[in-house]
Structure formats: C-alpha cells, structure tokens
C-alpha cells in the first residue's frame, strides 16, 4: 500500500502529521488530486478544540488545490495533469433537496475534513485527496495564475464575498467589519467591490489591523477604544449602513448591532460557539435586518472571483503570511491558533 503524509485529527487538541494510506478511487465520479497547496482555516481550529465531533483518524483540511492525478470515467470535463481548485465540500445533486434547487438541505453531501452523514470525509491537508463528485466541485485554475493567486478562492474569498453581498452594500455606504482574521479581511476587500465610502475594520490584534489598513480599510483598535463609540464618531453619530460579523462571538455580534445605524444590515459569517441573546423589540424598532449563513453559490462565485483576481480588482495574496512545508504542519497550527509571528493565512505545501 502506498502511503503519504497528512494532518490527522487524533482527539481534542491534537492534529498531527502522520503517515497514512494514499486515497484510492472508489466511484467513477471521483478524482484523486495531488495537493500542491492547502491552507489552515479558522474552522479547523474548532475541530482542534473538539467542537465538531470529527472522527479520530480523519485527515483535516477543506481549503486545497492541486493537480489531477486520476479521474473517474464519469469525470469527463477534466483530465490528468490539470491544475484545479476544489470546493470546500459537495452536495449530492440527486436527493430531493438538491433536485428542488435547495442544496443546503442536502443530507448526502459533506465538507472535506469534517463529519458528514456517512462518516467523516478525509480532507486536503495531505499529499493526495479523494474528491467525490469531482466534475461538480473542481474548477480549472486559469493559465498564468499561481497557487497563491487563487488559494483564498477555496473558502475565504467566497465567504467574504457572500458577507458583502448579504450586507447589500450600496455605493457611498459606510461599512464596519468586526474581525480582521482571513475571513474578515476578505469581507473588507469584497465590500470595496460594492463602492462604499468607508470600510472600518475592527480588531484588537495590532498586526491584523495593520493588514486591514494595507488592504484599504480604516482600522479601529478595540483594545484601545470602544469600537462602537469610535464608529459613531466617524459616521456623524449615525453608525454604519452595513455591519459584518466575521468572528463569531457575542461581543462582536453586539458590537455590530450597536455600530449599525437605524435601518441597516447586519451580515454574519462568523462561526459561533455559544448562543447570543436577541432583544427583538429593539431590533424591530431600529429596523435592523440580520442575515447569516455560509456561501452556497460557489459555482457562481468561484469563476467570478477568479475573474476579479485576473482583472486586478482583488488581491488576497498579502493575507497569506506563511508558506510552510506540510512537514511543518503542527508548527503551522500552533502559530495560527496562537496568533504568533503575524500569522494570518498559513499555507502548507505537501511534498516540499
Ligand atoms: Zn475554511
Ligand atoms: Zn443532495
């Protein structure tokens, strides 16, 4: 049996580099991708902390791209050797929910490196990965684009774009994004596509605020000032038209509610680990519209984002702060988790 290196979940607090069997084709709709770049996501840290109930032994990672090593006979649009990026997960496309155009209701799909209806699905923080329903969830990487050019299109940029789109930003609007991690930074960049007059970026980690500023936002350091007060000062006492929550804590959610003006949109993409209390009468009387979710229109978003990158309208490369060999995977998790060494997006290179 051929083996490979992979980052494997071994219980709470333990995602470790191991030698594991190489994946093999199991369906004619599969592909095997040789991973050339894979990133660690904030949601992988939830797995590390035991929040998602991933089976022990699962290979982690839903943000990856690479080169096609094998294609099943039903994967007719792709061939060996092509460079592809892969959706973080897949829907079956054949269940009642999928057929009715409601893929979010699919019970037979799953996310790589996460629990699914049929057991945990091995992810892409590995040298090779099996991609089910490959025809539907792979996109060719356009000629001339590097792994780093497109790495964040695997998850962060679609999520940021979805956050901005849900915020329904109009030209001239003011926007506040709570959170300057990779999702928050992508939301700030995507918000700019909709023509706001100002995008405020709230965080308490200095290097993350610096990156937000470099990418065009106005930093608000919540370790030094009350961000709600500051945002009201900077918006003539009104608050912003759109607030985006990109962390997933009650404090940042309430910050969004208070930073947003009367009649405004609050768009949530942060992943919460604890409940929040909603004061319904206040929300109602202040006309605050709350939207949330995960990007479900990847087949539409991904080509659009690739075009925007090609046209120079978005450049997420600065968010990649570390490129390390997969053999340094445990160190990579550590610096990302503890926000050490200026870590934002940490990319691992299998085979390096
Ligand atoms: Zn992710
Ligand atoms: Zn389905």
Query: What pLDDT, on the 0 to 100 scale, is given for residue 98?
Result: 85
3-state helix, strand, coil in the chain (%, to 5): 30, 30, 40
Q: Which ligand ends up closest to the CA of 95?
A: 2
Ligand closest to Cα of 181 equals 1
DSSP letter (8 states) at residue 7 = E
DSSP code at position 122 = P
pLDDT for 297 beyond 90: no
Question: pLDDT tier at 85 (50, 70, 90 boundaries)?
Answer: very high
Residue 61 Cα to ligand 1 midpoint, Å, equals 8
Non-local CB neighbours of 117 within 8 Å, separated by 6+ positions: 107, 108, 109, 110
280 CB contacts (<8 Å, ≥6 apart)? none
Give the pLDDT mean for 33-53: 94
Largest CA distance in the chain: 66
Work out the average pLDDT over 55-78: 97
Distance 173 CA to ligand 1 centre (A): 28
What pLDDT shows up at residue 154? 97
The alpha carbon of 301 and the centre of ligand 2 are apart by a number of angstroms equal to 20
Distance 240 CA to ligand 2 centre (A): 38
Phi, psi of 153 (to 5 degrees): -75, -15
Confidence of residue 62 (pLDDT cuts 50, 70, 90): very high
Sequence-distant (6+) residues with CB within 8 A of 303 are 139
Angle at 47 between CA 160 and CA 152, to 5 degrees: 30
Distance in Å, CA 110 to ligand 2 centroid: 10
Distance from C-alpha of 44 to C-alpha of 309, rounded to nearest angstrom: 26
Residue 214 Cα to ligand 2 midpoint, Å, equals 41
- The pLDDT score that the predictor gives to residue 273 is 85
Helices (H), the chain: 42-48, 96-99, 134-137, 147-150, 156-167, 182-192, 206-214, 227-233, 250-259, 280-285, 298-310, 329-337
Tell me the mean pLDDT in the region 21-42.
97
pLDDT category, 1, cuts 50, 70, 90?
A: confident
132 pLDDT tier (thresholds 50, 70, 90): very high
Distance 181 CA to ligand 1 centre (A): 12
Residue 325 pLDDT exceeds 90: yes
Contact (Cβ atoms closer than 8 angstroms) between residue 129 and residue 122: yes
Average model confidence (pLDDT) across the chain: 95
Res 117 pLDDT > 80: no
Q: Which residues surround ligand 1, an ion (CB under 5 A)?
A: 41, 63, 155
Q: Is the pLDDT of residue 301 over 80?
A: yes
Distance between Cα 351 and ligand 2 center (Å) = 34
**pLDDT at residue 14 above 90?**
yes
Q: Could you say which ligand is closest to the alpha carbon of residue 152?
A: 1
Share of the chain above pLDDT 70, in %: 100
Instruction: Specify burial of residue 61 (Cβ count, 10 A radius: 0-12, 13-18, 19+).
Output: buried
Residue 93 binned pLDDT confidence (cut-offs 50, 70, 90)? confident
Q: How far apart are CA 209 and CA 227, in angstroms?
A: 13
pLDDT of 119 reads: 82
In sequence order, the 6+-apart residues with CB closer than 8 A to the CB of 120 are 54, 55, 58, 113, 114
Per-residue pLDDT at 109: 87
- Characterize 73-107 residue by residue with b for buried, 16 or more Cβ atoms within 10 angstroms of its Cβ, and e for exposed: eebeebeeebbbbbbbbbbbbebebbeeeebeebe
State how far the Cα of 55 lies from the Cα of 268, in Å rounded to an integer.
28
Distance 94 CA to ligand 2 centre (A): 5
Identify the pLDDT of residue 340: 95
Q: What domains are there in the chain, each with its CATH number? A: 3-141+316-349 (3.90.180.10), 157-292 (3.40.50.720)
pLDDT-based confidence at residue 102 (cuts at 50, 70, 90): confident
CB 18 within 8 A of CB 59: no
Q: Which H or E run contains 106?
A: none
Q: Which ligand is nearest to the CA of 124?
A: 1
Q: Is the pTM of this model over 0.75?
A: yes
Of the ligands numbered here, which is closest to the C-alpha atom of 40?
Answer: 1
Q: Which ligand is nearest to the CA of 60?
A: 1
């Amino acid at each position: 049996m051929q083996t490979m290196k992979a980052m494997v979940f071994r219980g709470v607090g333990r995602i470790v580099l191991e030698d594991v069997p190489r994946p093999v084709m199991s369906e004619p709709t599969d592909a095997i991708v040789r991973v050339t770049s894979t990133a660690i996501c904030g949601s992988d840290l939830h797995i590390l902390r035991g929040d998602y109930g991933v089976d022990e032994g699962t290979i982690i990672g839903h943000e990856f791209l690479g080169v096609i090593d094998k294609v099943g006979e039903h994967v007719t649009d792709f061939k060996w050797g092509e460079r592809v990026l892969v959706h973080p997960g897949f829907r079956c496309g054949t269940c009642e929910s999928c057929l009715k155009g409601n893929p979010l209701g699919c019970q037979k799909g799953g996310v790589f490196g996460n629990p699914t209806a049929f057991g945990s699905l091995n992810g892409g923080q590995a040298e090779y990965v099996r991609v089910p329903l490959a025809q539907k969830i792979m996109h060719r990487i356009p000629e001339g684009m590097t792994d780093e050019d497109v790495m964040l299109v695997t998850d962060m940029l679609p999520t940021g774009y979805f956050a901005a789109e849900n915020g329904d930003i109009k030209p001239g609007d003011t926007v506040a994004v709570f959170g300057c991690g990779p999702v928050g930074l992508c939301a700030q960049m995507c918000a700019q596509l909709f023509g706001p007059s100002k995008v405020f970026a709230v965080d308490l980690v200095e290097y993350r605020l610096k990156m937000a500023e470099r990418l065009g936002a106005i930093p608000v350091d919540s370790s030094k000032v009350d961000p709600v007060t500051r945002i009201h000062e900077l918006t003539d006492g009104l608050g912003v038209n759109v607030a985006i929550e990109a962390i997933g804590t009650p404090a940042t959610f309430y910050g969004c509610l208070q930073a947003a003006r009367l009649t405004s949109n609050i768009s949530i993409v942060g992943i919460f680990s604890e409940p929040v209390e909603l004061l319904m009468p206040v929300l109602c009387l202040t006309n605050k519209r709350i939207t949330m979710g995960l990007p479900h229109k990847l087949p539409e978003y991904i080509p659009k984002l690739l075009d925007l990158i090609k046209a120079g309208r978005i450049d997420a490369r600065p968010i990649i702060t570390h490129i390390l060999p997969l053999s340094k995977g445990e160190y990579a998790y550590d610096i990302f988790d503890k926000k050490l060494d200026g870590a934002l997006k940490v990319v691992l290179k299998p085979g390096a």
